[in-house]
Amino acid sequence: MEAAIAQRVQYPSWVDCRKFEGKPLGSLRYSQRVKEDKRFRGLVALAHLQPDRRYDQRRSVSSEVSCSDNNSSALLEAGSVHPFDEDLILKAKEVRPYLNGRSMYLVGMMGSGKTTVGKLMSKVLGYSFFDCDTLIEEAMNGTSVAEIFEHHGESFFRGKETDALKKLSSMYQLVVSTGGGAVIRPINWKYMNKGVSIWLDVPLEALAHRIAAVGTDSRPLLHDESGDAYTVAFKRLSTIWDERGEAYTNANARVSLESIAVKLGYKDVSDLTPTEIAIEAFEQVQSFLEKEETVEIPDGDL
């Protein structure tokens, strides 16, 4: 697992990771700005060449958000990374100095889009991306998560998951997609709290539609039950939510897809693009870090 992680981590040549140790949140903010400006100007130029579907749509604002299965599997396609748009690039540029190299950990229910959104966030930030499930599978010589659950049990898998988070927590400038159950172990929060944790909060109905659309074979906690795919998924997800729901609220930032849909005037959360979700995630992270920075500044320095 260590080798797989080391091969994928690529820090920009101007970053000295030792500088992150024991530094206040804003210590590198101004020294990095000139170099970041050059990088992001290039990305902004690229964005002008890419279509942005949000501006081609004309929707009336509605407070009613549904969760139909139209395009419901879009966020489950881990390999589909949408082109950067200018809003996303500018938001990443804005939040990056606040992050100051700290990693981000995406948490949420299975099917919430952590991998797709996480890849997009990492690319626009220039961070390395890791999927905990993939790391565990590679450490087990390609054995799938479903097979690990079947042959070794959930407890074994959770132990491997904790090992992965422990190793990742010692690094900087990562975006990490965690497994849906990572939140249930307090030790995992110890490791994730070395960075910033982000909860992708998706309605259960939308999750059930997404999972039913792509199948449950890769979901070890779902695929053993029989019946209508949506009904089975929704019933099991409801049980899992009862067990984990409160744990997700420990995250530093919450990204509510229902709230985004209302704000953008969409009637259905499945109409949201990964870009729109990533922008909201950056906004929530920045809000958290601004509050954290305010708390850390001594009264005499104000």
Parent domain of 196: 83-288
Structure tokens, 80: 């589909």
Q: Compute the distance between CA of residue 33 and CA of residue 94 in angstroms, rounded to an integer.
A: 10
- Domain of 195: which CATH number? 3.40.50.300
pLDDT single digits (tens) 123-157:
999 999 999 999 999 999 999 999 999 999 999 99
Q: Decide if 295 contacts 92 (C-beta within 8 A).
A: no
Q: In this predicted structure, what is the pLDDT of residue 59?
A: 36
In the chain, the number of structural domains is 1
Q: Is residue 33, in this structure, part of any structural domain at all?
A: no
**pLDDT at residue 217 tops 60:** no
Q: In this predicted structure, what is the pLDDT of residue 65?
A: 53
Pick the closest to residue 88 from 43, 147, 39 (CA basis).
43
Q: Is residue 74, in this structure, part of any structural domain at all?
A: no
Q: Is residue 228, in this structure, part of any structural domain at all?
A: yes
Q: Is residue 266, in this structure, part of any structural domain at all?
A: yes
In this prediction, residue 294 has a pLDDT band, given cuts at 50, 70 and 90, of: confident
Who wins on pLDDT, 57 or 186?
A: 186
pLDDT single digits (tens) 221-257:
555 566 788 888 899 999 999 999 999 999 999 999 9
Positions of E strands within the chain:
104-107, 128-131, 174-177, 196-201, 253-256
Percent of the chain at pLDDT > 70 equals: 67
DSSP state, 177? E
Q: Tell me what the mean pLDDT of segment 23-47 comes to.
A: 44
Q: Compute the distance between CA of residue 214 and CA of residue 228 in angstroms, rounded to an integer.
A: 13
Q: Is residue 200, in this structure, part of any structural domain at all?
A: yes
**pLDDT at residue 191 tops 60:** yes
Percent of the chain at pLDDT > 90 equals: 60
- The reported pTM is 0.76
Q: Is residue 31, in this structure, part of any structural domain at all?
A: no
DSSP state, 222? T
In this prediction, residue 202 has a pLDDT band, given cuts at 50, 70 and 90, of: very high
Q: Is residue 190, in this structure, part of any structural domain at all?
A: yes
Q: Tell me what the mean pLDDT of segment 161-187 comes to.
A: 97
Structure tokens, 287: 């809000």
**pLDDT at residue 47 tops 80:** no
**pLDDT at residue 279 tops 50:** yes
Q: Is residue 19, in this structure, part of any structural domain at all?
A: no
